[in-house]
Chain A
Amino acid sequence: MSTTTETEIPLRQRVAENPQPALIWAAVGAVLIGVELGAILQVVGAVAGVVVNLIPGDPGASAVQSLQAAFDAIPTLVSRDVIPNQGYWDGTGYENTFLGLSPAVAWAIRVVFVYAYAFAVLAWAWNGYKRFRRHYRRVDWTPRDDVVNRFRGHSWGKFGLIIVITFVVMAVFAPALGPTTMEQNILQPYDYEVSYWSEDTQSVETVLVGEANLGSGSQGAGDENVAPMTYDDFGRFHPFGTATNGKDLFTQVVFGARISLTIAVVAMGIAGLIGLGLAMITAYYKGLADLATVLVSDSIQALPVIMVLILMLVIFQNTWVRELYDGAVLIILIFSIVYWPFIWRSIRGPALQVSEQDWIDAAKSFGQTPTQVMRKHMAPYVFSYMLIYASLSLGGIIISVAGLSYLGLGITAPTPEWGRLIANGQQYVASPSWHISLVPGLLITLVVTGLNAFGDGIRDAIDPQADTGDEAAATGGGA
């Protein structure tokens, strides 16, 4: 039959036969990636740095450093250099800002640019998937298409996804988003200077950033407050105002997003993998394996999470583990250990259910190995459930990390963290400096809501009956 040859063609050949859609897509991709190549290479350099850091003796550390420096030098489109906002008023106009615009406008343009670029990349990726589906995929329908289509029709889930993307972009592009940099404003303020227009002398003067910070803290009183969307006395624009010590709040918030999201995602990823792996084993072998896991997970779940965290952090207070990445590694480890039983519990039901399907017996009957049965015939059905529960509990981790930092445990200063910002501004919530606590607090609420909405969206997408009947609501609650 004629179809015999058609179905055998490898992807490359299918593309070659109808190259236009793929070429257009690739060309757009090349442009999008090209303008940010420097940033991408910087990420590669950073990852290399982490790897080198983890290897004892730090072999090749200097090579990696020179590599990083080289990558840093490559100009990128979405960067501080292209759209600078840290300029000053010289009496007649703005110096050193983008097109001579005010620092606030220049900063706003850069933020819009960053988000426009990020969403363009996502749109490009989505378009690539659609092109593949339309022009090159061998099957014209897969069960996953239905899930994707159902999610696309789920406004609440899409809202959640957009919120989540917004925060991820915030974390990824943190260095480009801040009106100032971590290095200048937060970590080494006494190594840098800023120029500003002095009303008293009617001339441009310079001051150390550290000193400028001292004069622009938000401590409640009327003249000691830099509110959101205002300039301080040194002509610096603060989208979210300043913290008590005069450091820029927005910069701290976007870098805080990095820390919070990284901890939450990595910890949840590890917990999810452990939970999924154990769910496969316990559902396949049942009996003793299941019983042992129930015992272990029950014991872990019986412990109050926050207590364990505090205890562990205190125990490891002065050890090298506590030092790694400002304490993030230790927090991630603890959260993974504390959270896997929750994930395992949540997906145990679906895992057992799929293990009862006849196709498992069929696979066993022709001699498929247990690992393959779990991987091919069970895991795909349980994975999406894991995703739901992982996204629903990510928020919990973010809140817990903030809580720990609030208590002075979590992430060590000066690395910015939302919880510590909240603690920092707590005594001023009823004063004009309310923004210090409120802004990070609102952001936490927003990202947690977004994650929950996203989780709901996935659940309804994989389980279309779930949003119609109470019976399904009961499953969702009980599972």
Chain B
Amino acid sequence: MSTTSTEEERSTEARGDTILEVNDLKTYYEDGGFLGSNPVKAVDGVSFDIQRGETLGLVGESGCGKSTLGRTLMRLEEATAGEVKLNGTDITTLSGSDLKQFRKDVQMVFQDPDSSLNERMTVGEIVREPLDVHDWKTPSERRERVRELLETVGLQEQHYYRYPHQFSGGQRQRIGIARALALEPEFIILDEPVSALDVSVQAKILNLLEDLQNEFGLTYLFIAHDLAVVRHICDRVAVMYLGNMMEIGPADEMFDQPANPYTHALLSSIPEPDPTIERDRITLRGTPPSPRDPPAGCPFSTRCPVKIRPSAYRDMDTDLWERIEVFREVLRERSRADPSLSDRVRKLLGRESHRAGMDEIIPELFGELDVPSDVMSHIREAADYAENDDEDAARAYLREEFGSVCDHERPDQLSVGNRGRLSLCHRHEPEYEEPAAVFETLVQ
């Protein structure tokens, strides 16, 4: 695999007709309630583009920011920074009639068909509402169009005067799709459109979406957490983690040979459809860090199984290295959790904090391992800081000692392969070993 830095390459590369271009988009929430608290960095600097007529899948665990990204593209959330260009126009600053025109060009299909249809309106009124809002032709032509749309999505025109309650989940999702099609948009954001449906219905809706795409030349952004669905319907896939786009590239290539360590982990978590193929499972330890306080370097650095080690520790025993990472994770968790009131009282009284003391944690983590004395002294040093309730100092100390480029520098999106794949990982830089190779050694 070739690994080269890519900023120019990406923009010059002609992959066809770009409909949507997103540059360094950030969406932060300030809704913490406490003044001065860190904002939630739901989308933290994401860049990608979508070609006309393609389906881009957007995957990631819940809370990774994929829904917020979709809502920001829809202008349902305001972007904090960056630009979103639809057909060359930045839509983050639109207002008035330009915004209204944009509202016509981009539509959304929502995840939960129970909640996305106003159940006090008839199906006809629901599908017609976008047409009414945009004063589309005459009222009778609108009714005509609604009936056509109902047929297009596989419903019957006499459903016009029924209420959503009278339909099954799959049928309701069809109503939602008909509404999204009403204004003849060119770009549709599908926010987990099948995840609330029965498995038996999912395939039908997916087929419908594909048919509609062919018939009307639609472009889709398909948000999903189910990788199997994505593999089925998407041309390209983007993987998000903690507000960052970890990897983006052609779906087949990415599923067969994931480049980014996070994609590796994500893919190995889905059951292989073909049970004869043995895939080695990589289970991720811990939970994603809080999006209020993301890691300074690589977003995945707190959990990455193939994180780059500083040269001094490159030959360290894998188990020990693992335990040190766990120790850092423990400190991170502790600094996130506010000390309870009784802890504070104890501290004021000069008594020991009730939280699990370092003298419990250290033997637990490192007890049965053979720890070299210099490493142990670093651990003790950090433990001392933590014992005095200064987790931040402890974390800084460990970061200084055991941190690597993964902890210090945010990686760039580096190109992988020759089909426009990008991956956010230092390991694609020439001086490091490729993630895939390291995974090989891990699972042996």
Binding site for B on A (CB under 8 A): 1, 3-4, 7-8, 138-144, 357-359, 361-369, 372, 376-377, 380-381
Contact = CB atoms under 8 A, between A and B. Distances in A.
B76 interface: yes
A7 to B, nearest CB: 6
A254 B227 CA distance: 73
Contacts of B38: none
Nearest to A146: B165
B108 interface: yes
A294 to B, nearest CB: 14
| Nearest 5 Cβ contacts at the A-B interface | A367-B103, A358-B116, A366-B130, A358-B115, A139-B161
Contact of B107 (A144, A359, A365, A368): A365
B98 to A, nearest CB: 11
A366 B110 contact: no
Given A7-B160, A141-B163, A367-B100, A362 B133 contact: no
Contact of A7 (B157, B163, B165, B166): B157
B118 A377 contact: yes
18 contacts: A1-B157, A8-B143, A139-B122, A143-B120, A144-B120, A357-B118, A358-B111, A358-B115, A362-B176, A363-B129, A364-B76, A365-B76, A366-B130, A367-B133, A372-B133, A376-B118, A376-B121, A377-B118
Contacts of B130: 366-367
Given A7-B160, A143-B120, A357-B115, A367 B147 contact: no
A139 B162 contact: yes
Given A4-B157, A139-B122, A365 B162 contact: no
A366 B133 contact: yes
Given A364-B76, A367-B133, 6 more contacts: A139-B163, A142-B163, A357-B118, A361-B76, A366-B130, A367-B104
A78 B108 CA distance: 61
A7 B76 contact: no
Nearest to A354: B118
Nearest to A380: B120
Contacts of A7: 157-158, 160-161
A338 to B, nearest CB: 31
A149 to B, nearest CB: 14
A138 B76 contact: no
Nearest to A145: B163
B79 to A, nearest CB: 16
Interface string B130-147: 100110000010010001
Nearest to A138: B161
A4 B147 contact: yes
Contacts of B239: none
A3 B158 contact: yes
B119 interface: yes
A371 to B, nearest CB: 12
Given A138-B161, A361-B76, A376-B121, A366 B103 contact: yes
A366 B129 contact: yes
Contacts of B106: 365
A362 B103 contact: no
Q: Is the interface of A mostly helix, strand, loop or mixed?
A: helix
A143 B117 CA distance: 13
Of A357, A364, A372, most B-chain CB atoms within 10 Å: A357
B112 interface: yes
**Residue among B107, B133, B182 having the largest count of chain A Cβ atoms under 10 Å:** B133
B118 A359 contact: yes
Interface string B80-118: 000000000000000000011001101110111001111
Contacts of B111: 358
A140 B163 CA distance: 10
Given A139-B163, A141-B166, A361-B76, A366 B115 contact: no
Contacts of B74: 365
A1 B122 CA distance: 20
Nearest to B117: A359
B183 interface: yes
Given A139-B162, A139-B163, A359-B116, A3 B103 contact: no
Contacts of A8: 140, 143
Contacts of A140: 161
A414 to B, nearest CB: 49
Contacts of B162: 139, 141
Given A7-B158, A139-B122, A358-B116, A366 B107 contact: yes
Contacts of A376: 118, 121, 129
Contacts of A142: 163
B179 interface: yes
A3 B115 CA distance: 29
Nearest to B126: A359
B76 A359 contact: no
B197 to A, nearest CB: 15
Given A139-B163, A366-B183, A367-B103, A381 B120 contact: yes
A220 to B, nearest CB: 59
A362 B110 contact: yes
A58 B178 CA distance: 57
B40 to A, nearest CB: 16
Contacts of A365: 74, 76, 103, 106-108
A361 B75 CA distance: 10
Nearest to B113: A358
Contacts of A143: 119-120, 163, 165
Contacts of B133: 366-369, 372
Contact of A362 (B116, B158, B183): B116
A145 to B, nearest CB: 10
B158 A368 contact: no
A183 B130 CA distance: 60
A367 B74 CA distance: 11
A64 to B, nearest CB: 41
B183 A359 contact: no
A13 B183 CA distance: 31
Contacts of B179: 362, 366
A237 to B, nearest CB: 52
Contacts of A357: 115-116, 118
A367 B134 contact: yes
A144 B120 CA distance: 8
Contact of B108 (A1, A4, A362): A362
Question: Quick one: which of A4, A359, A366, A376 has the most chain B CB within 10 A?
Answer: A366
Contacts of B116: 357-359, 361-362
Nearest to A368: B133
Highest count of chain A CB atoms <10 Å: which of B99, B104, B111, B118: B118
A7 B100 CA distance: 31
Contacts of B71: 361
B212 to A, nearest CB: 17
A409 to B, nearest CB: 44
A357 B111 CA distance: 12
Contacts of B165: 143
Contacts of A138: 161
Contacts of B115: 357-359
